[in-house]
Structure 1
Amino acid sequence: MDNARPTPLIEDIDGTRRKLESWISSNRGRDVRIEELSIPEATGMSNVTLLFDITWDEDGQQRSESLVARLQPAIERPVFPDYDLSLQYEVMDAVGRFSDIPVPELCGLETDKSLLGVQFYLMKRTDGRIPTDMPPYNMDGWMMHETSIEQRQHLWRTSVDTMARYHQLDYQEMGFGKLLVPGKTPLQQQLVYWENYLNWALEGAGHDIGQRALDWLQANQPKEESTVLCWGDARLGNIIFKPSLEGIAAVLDWEMAVLGNPVQDLAWFNYLDATFAEGLGMPRLEGLPTYEQTIAQWEQASGFSARDYAYYQIFAGMRFGLIMSRIMLATGQDSEVQNSFACQLLEKYLDRII
């Protein structure tokens, strides 16, 4: 698996440091200092994440705080056509206010692009451990080498329970009824988005497997679906576990949050794990519950039925396949655009169901 990343790096890291230093100082009403910025490389492929500490003097003492900045990407070939950081920020804020689901403590959103050239938001850094994307946790990393079978089971099951609790939230009460489009179901809205995404991501070249999946999804839409505010990118790699691994410290990355059937999060959670195991010809980590056990646990914890699970497996495969194809195109891996491991796995799942 190629580790090339489409995520933009900061060209003027020191200039960015000084601008952030000034912005935080202005917003806090006191001078703060930032010694250096760092960019994590183990997770994420669509935003710029900056890690840094701020220090300031208060009451004759030096104080400090660890922060994270998420920046809207500004590159020639981004992973997504647009990024609404304000929606991400709003979702995190609402989850924190309307539930006991842990999210990072937010510290400010800047939608004016004049400072850094892009939108950004800040949040306090949450201590803990995140399962790695690069390399995938089924292949290497701390989950493989530093956890017991019992700990892996606990991490997985705790994640599923947290996802189920999230699905019980009322999106209308949280203020996200505004995401509904009159005359279209949430699923129809999403299918329109992904049809447009295919054309944009492939820059007009088309995508045989992705289009085949979209055609099947259009023709087999479930009826009378439940609607919640879906996480959108529900997976282990978007969870910070407590350093002790006894629970979840924070749930991350709401950039793909959307109204839809909660089963789509469940299917994505399982499918992403399968992609980086079965899709790469690797075994899953020993001790992880089966996908069937995961479905049963989620149904019991959420109160929703997973009857549309097979449909949303294909939906998950279509989404991830197209995203990976965009990443391959953006990183110059032209031979893999329609032949990546993600596309091959989607084709395998399509052949099973059609």
Structure 2
Amino acid sequence: MTAAAVDRDRPSAAFIEEMRRRFPTERETDALLVRKLRRRAGPPYRRIAKDELAACLEAMLAERLDGPFEISDTRWFTGGVSKIQLGFTLAWDDPERGPSRDRLMVRMDPSESLNATSRVREAELLRAFHGVLPVPGVFALDADARWFPEPALVYAFVDGVTKPTGATSGKVSGLGTNFGPALRERLAPQFLDHLVRIHTFDHEEAAFTALDRPRAGTTESALWQLNRARRVWEEDRADDLPLMEVAANWMERNLPATDVVSVVHGDFRSGNFLFDEATGEIRAWLDWERAHLGDRHRDLAWTTQALFGHYGEGADRGTYYVCGLIPRDEFFARYEEASGLPVDHDALAFYRILNCYQIVVSTLATAYRVARLGKSHQDILLARVKGEVPIVVGELRQLLKERM
């Protein structure tokens, strides 16, 4: 199928099947991407009013809960760039606690998201890590959009901040957050401990239905993740970018085998945990939407990206802090000691390249397509992220030069 014959705004059934054939990946990911393309020619995103979303919520709870309930204090949340999030308070009669008032959140995709992700997968992971890590408790799931316009997850609201309230850098989403020495000292041990808990979690005992398990000792995990990124690039891009072909071909020839299959958070970094500023306690880990079973080096490469950290100041100017928390060499050394798992620097290099590739896919292809078709409530922001492309493309080029 030639590029000239492809209308990515209205993908044909033949195009969708061609993508599935060329880039096989996890079953849940495949279903999400097929659903995305089949619905792409539909109407653009329509802003849903707060009262409309509350009515969806009320309809779901009326069927799910026994006894009367009341929804109040509905409010929008702006965190989670690619998702629609509504906070509310639920007064109800909990069978275990009796009369209760709970602060909860609805998390839902727009018509088409920057990341095609699964609310089922997110719910399963949050349930699995309850009691293992600080995570929001899952309250309800609308997996098939029976009540909401799109699949939606309802979970507990957690108090906390993602960066110091006095921060003046203007950076958002955990990009280069400077926590300062006092908070850094309290947050860093928790940050590292929580990553180790994720990677050493006994997933064989978890009741996962939406996560495929790759086989240890094979390249299945790396291939599934590469194929997902390549498929989204082909589905969403506007123009050719020869460097992306070079990168994809190199990765296909250099797939690393996964020695130990782990839960991979997929976006483990500053900006995705909430903490109590007074005590420095991490209260919740969020944004599990990119999580999967696979190679821990995907997380290690992502977490240590230069984009998320910063260099120290004054006498500490030459020290790079991973996610603003731990010097890079110390991060790897402490991780190996705490987890008992080695850091393979060849695997790390592969996933650094894959992560750069994925960022280019998201910013140059998906953000463009979603904004162009008006499929999201964040079209202006999505259009702006294209400014990151030259920086990430430059990093991708340099990483490939070092390995070729």
- TM range, smaller chain: 0.7 to 0.9
1:128, 1:249 within 8 Å by CA — same for their partners in 2?
yes
Residue aligning to 2:124: 90
Q: Residues 197 and 131 from structure 1, CA distance in 2 versus in 1: closer, same or farther, beyond 3 angstroms?
A: farther
| Runs of 5+ unmatched residues, structure 1 | 1-7
1:208, 1:338 within 8 Å by CA — same for their partners in 2?
no
Q: How many angstroms does 1:36 deviate by?
A: 4.4
Match of 1:194 among 204, 229, 246: 229
Residue aligning to 1:126: 158
Q: How many angstroms does 1:181 deviate by?
A: 6.1
2:142, 2:148 within 8 Å by CA — same for their partners in 1?
no
Q: Residues 219 and 248 from structure 1, CA distance in 2 versus in 1: closer, same or farther, beyond 3 angstroms?
A: same
1:53, 1:64 within 8 Å by CA — same for their partners in 2?
yes
Residue aligning to 1:19: 56
Q: Deviations over 1:310-353 (max 9, x none)?
A: 22222222222222222245335499389343333333333343
Residue aligning to 2:371: 331
Q: Residues 221 and 345 from structure 1, CA distance in 2 versus in 1: closer, same or farther, beyond 3 angstroms?
A: same
Q: Secondary structure at the match of 2:205?
A: coil
Q: How many angstroms does 1:136 deviate by?
A: 4.5
1:353 alignment partner AA: R
Q: Deviations over 1:199-219 (max 9, x none)?
A: 11315x333333332222212
Residue aligning to 2:5: none
Residue aligning to 1:3: none
Match of 2:361 among 317, 322, 328: 322
Structure-2-length-normalised TM-score? 0.71
1:160-175 equivalence runs, <5 A? 160-175=192-207
Residue aligning to 1:5: none
1:136, 1:276 within 8 Å by CA — same for their partners in 2?
no
Q: Which deviates the most, 207-216 or 301-310?
A: 207-216
Q: Secondary structure at the match of 1:179?
A: coil
Distance 2:63 2:171 in 1: 36
Distance 1:296 1:38 in 2: 43
Q: How many angstroms does 1:276 deviate by?
A: 4.8
Please say if 1:353 is aligned against 2:403: yes
Residue aligning to 1:259: 293
Match of 1:234 among 255, 258, 268: 268
Distance 1:266 1:239 in 2: 16
Q: CA RMSD in A?
A: 3.4
1:103, 1:251 within 8 Å by CA — same for their partners in 2?
yes
Distance 1:171 1:334 in 2: 38
Q: Residues 120 and 155 from structure 1, CA distance in 2 versus in 1: closer, same or farther, beyond 3 angstroms?
A: same
Please say if 1:288 is aligned against 2:325: yes
Q: Which deviates the most, 248-257 or 20-29?
A: 20-29
Q: Secondary structure at the match of 1:331?
A: helix
1:3-18 equivalence runs, <5 A? 10-18=47-55
1:329, 1:337 within 8 Å by CA — same for their partners in 2?
no
Please say if 1:113 is aligned against 2:145: yes
Q: Residues 318 and 103 from structure 1, CA distance in 2 versus in 1: closer, same or farther, beyond 3 angstroms?
A: same
> Percent identity at matched positions?
21
1:328, 1:337 within 8 Å by CA — same for their partners in 2?
no
Residue aligning to 1:52: 88
How many residues were matched structurally? 329
